[in-house]
């Protein structure tokens, strides 16, 4: 299964390198695009859920790394939840 990493820039200008066990991320994000915080989290939740399901279909078990990555995204996003104008930029696919 092809692994994909994607870099994101948070509202405080810090960057994170995120993991997906599937290329499905490219169906949900476009590099160079800003996403409202809630939209970014929702897209991440859906994409990483699909990616984990693909691992389950192929290997018989969910991808714990995908779910760990989602938890990290949700935790980081929580730091900016009080900012109504917060956006996350998908910088690139690695």
pTM check: above 0.85: yes
Tell whether the model's pLDDT for residue 2 goes beyond 90: no
pLDDT digits (tens, 9 = 90+) for 6-48: 999 999 999 999 999 999 999 999 999 999 999 999 999 999 9
Question: In the structure encoding, which two tokens stand for residue 83, read together?
Answer: 């900012």
Number of domains in the chain: 1
Instruction: Give residues with Cβ within 8 angstroms of 82, minimum separation 6.
Output: none
Distance CA 26, CA 76 (A): 21
pLDDT at position 31, please? 98
What is the domain range of residue 41? 4-93
């Amino acid at each position: 299964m092809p692994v994909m990493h994607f870099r994101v820039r948070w509202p405080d200008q810090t960057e994170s390198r995120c993991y997906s066990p599937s290329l499905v991320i490219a169906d949900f994000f476009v590099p160079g695009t800003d996403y409202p915080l809630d939209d970014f989290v929702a897209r991440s939740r859906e994409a990483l859920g699909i990616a984990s399901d693909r691992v389950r279909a192929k290997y018989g078990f969910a991808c714990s790394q995908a779910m760990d990555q989602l938890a990290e995204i949700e935790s980081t996003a929580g730091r900016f939840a009080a900012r109504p104008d917060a956006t996350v930029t998908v910088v690139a696919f690695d």
